[in-house]
Structure 1
């Protein structure tokens, strides 16, 4: 049984308990009524509606405006019937209305259905009905503010609507958080199970290919190198959980902040030839910015594989200065580039650095610097703002 069902069951229990109290009062006071038969008729209506409302509210599909309005109208009608059944003298003497505290079940129903605003609305409507009873009976002088039983009853209805609605909201939010935590735990356990399966099969095969390829040499060595890179990337993916899919957002639930940790995106590139160094704490960027930086790093590593000799080592370093900028540098120990090489490549239509790297970082409001010289390798340094990015002039 979910929390919402438990709340509706609690309202039903209150209905029956309050009905029993109202029945005791009607039985005890029926001899003093102006129309005793009317008191029994009102009690019969209250009994019938208590059973009907309990049955109808049990189905979530029926908890809409029509049923809530009917619940309010029945309660208000039973309250107004007090004018015909009771005597003005008894009402002036402070005798309770025929419904007594039974009407509070309506306020609780509205609070559970829609929160404190609904609860306060129902309390206000029933409070107005209470006042109309005294207006019709000519006993309005009883409403003398604090200290009056009628005034206190109206205030208690309002407090029930306010407090009940607020508690219901907090309880439902707590249930949603608990469900989310259970989902995340289940996802984590499933990821760990898959990691064990992968480790016992795929990773071992890749490790064997990597080792045997290096022993055989030739073309097998290149195959072994690729297997080693994929093994390292897969280990990083399993370790960070970057491949896990977050559970879907529930209706009405606040959206997750549109941020991402840059570290898992870059750790996935780690391999025997690529060393990735990241801070121990999350490096948060807007999700789109993190993905673009990751793509720019991937393009830089692709250039190393395409234009440097086999076995060229590369280092990726991430720095968060805490002052609003994040710097990612990609440095290799390859042959480097002669002066003017990037300009020639751009003029020839090869835009790997110009667009895949410079273009992406520029669109994020960042800057790119390239330091290279023949025989001294190449270092590409990308700096982006840590906040929400925006293109810079020029």
Structure 2
């Protein structure tokens, strides 16, 4: 439970108590002219008990489910409809307030805080129907019952549901962005600290091994080459921005850091200057497909083969990732024979991943001309606001 949620539900509880006090004052002043005065006090007792109960119930996140919200709306509607029995027809005709008065808006606020503007508007619509039903039950003609006071009350309910629901969503989004910014700042500071220590020790040793290995030749040269590859990979790792860690699988993730982690002396990764966001699950699957393609290069393209990874935004929110190598290429029918033999690296690790995302994979290769795998992933469907 976040501090924002606690503050929001505490505010609803404060409003509910303040509105209860106002309704109690109205009932005390008008009880003498009610058709059933004791009914007014009975409704007030129900409102008081429900206010106390909801203050306790909504304080715990685990109890803020659909059942409690539905009960809140039902009790509020019942207190509202009781006005038709307690109030006189004369009072209803001349625009006297309902027994709960502004207390009914507390249910709208609860729905808006729990479910956003759509839930708030739904609760407002239900209570608006209750306001209209009160006049019908009391036998007041529809034209006279829907006076300016009733219409104003209905409009205020809809405005409360719409505005509060929208503001709550904006506040929660802002809180999530702030939490992510704090997390990124902490991760960046830790990365910088580690980078300083690595630069002062490990990277310098790897650079020395690479240089001395090249000078000595023979097996030492191969050791120097490997040290150089590890130096490039480590520099890329400590220098890349930390990848996003979404709170949910559909949260957007910048695909660039997931791909640049594969950079080395044998792999060149090129990405746009701006973020390339994809939903978290999709970004992970694309990165997995790229890793599988590079693994194939390492296994089959031969020693000394190089690979190039290019990430592009297709302009419509989707992405295109190509993995190209300068190896010997694929003989005709190689992929089909591999699939028939049960070796499904390309079929499942690459094509299967991209197909599940609704994308396509194109493979271009010829003997002696290397291989290029182009993966296209379409833009995700926008989530409902």
TM-score range, shorter chain: 0.7 to 0.9
Q: Secondary structure at the match of 1:184?
A: helix
Deviations 1:137-181 (A, max 9, x none): 221335565x53213322322332233323323332332333333
Distance 2:104 2:313 in 1: 59
**Structure 2 match to 1:303:** 302
What is the aligned partner in structure 1 of residue 376 from structure 2?
387
Task: Give the 3 Å change call, closer, same or farther, for CA 223–59 of structure 1 in structure 2.
Answer: same
Residue 189 of structure 1 and its aligned partner are, at CA, apart by 2.7
Structure 2 CA distance for partners of 1:31 and 1:327, relative to 1, 3 Å: closer
Q: Measured at CA, do residues 359 and 18 of structure 1 come closer, stay the same or move farther in structure 2, by a change above 3 Å?
A: closer
Q: How does 1:71-82 map to 2 (within 5 A)?
A: 71-82=72-83
Which of 228, 245, 248 is the matching residue for 1:247? 245
Match in the other structure for 2:138: 137
TM-score, normalization by structure 1: 0.72
**Offset of 1:13 from its aligned partner?**
1.6
Q: Which runs of 5+ in 2 are unaligned?
A: 277-282, 338-342, 352-360, 379-385
Contact 2:297 2:325 in 1 (8 A): yes
Q: Partner of 1:63 in structure 2?
A: 64
Q: SS at the partner of 1:366?
A: strand
How has the CA–CA distance of structure 1 residues 228 and 25 changed in structure 2, closer, same or farther, with 3 Å as cutoff? Answer: same
Q: Which deviates further from its counterpart, 229-238 or 102-111?
A: 229-238
Go from structure 1 to structure 2 and tell me whether the alpha carbon gap of 1:367 and 1:216 turns closer, same or farther (over 3 Å shift): closer
Distance of aligned partners of 1:29 and 1:293 in 2 relative to their CA distance in 1, 3 Å threshold? same
Structure 1 residue 276 displacement after superposition: 4.2
On the 8 A contact 1:328/1:381 being kept in 2, the answer is: no
Q: What is the Cα-based RMSD across aligned positions, in Å?
A: 4.1
Partner of 1:367: 364
After superposition, what is the alpha-carbon deviation per residue over 1:36-78, rounded to whole angstroms, capped at 9, x for unaligned?
3332332233223222211211111111233223322322222
What is the distance in 2 between the residues matched to 1:116 and 1:327? 42
Aligned match of 1:269: 264
Counterparts in 2 of 1:307-318, with a 5 A limit? Answer: none
CA separation of 1:370 and 1:280: change in aligned 2, threshold 3 A: farther
Task: Give the corresponding residue for 2:279.
Answer: none
> 2: CA distance between counterparts of 1:327 and 1:75?
60
* 2:170 aligned residue: 170
Q: Assess, with a 3 A threshold, how the Cα gap between structure 1 residues 66 and 135 changes in structure 2: closer, same or farther.
A: same
Unmatched segments (≥5 aa) in structure 1? 306-313, 350-354, 372-379, 390-394
- Counterpart Cα distance in 1 of 2:126 and 2:302: 73
Instruction: Return the alpha-carbon distance in structure 2 between the equivalents of residues 280 and 7 of structure 1.
Output: 41
Number of residue-to-residue matches in the alignment: 348
**Which residue in 1 is equivalent to 2:19?**
18
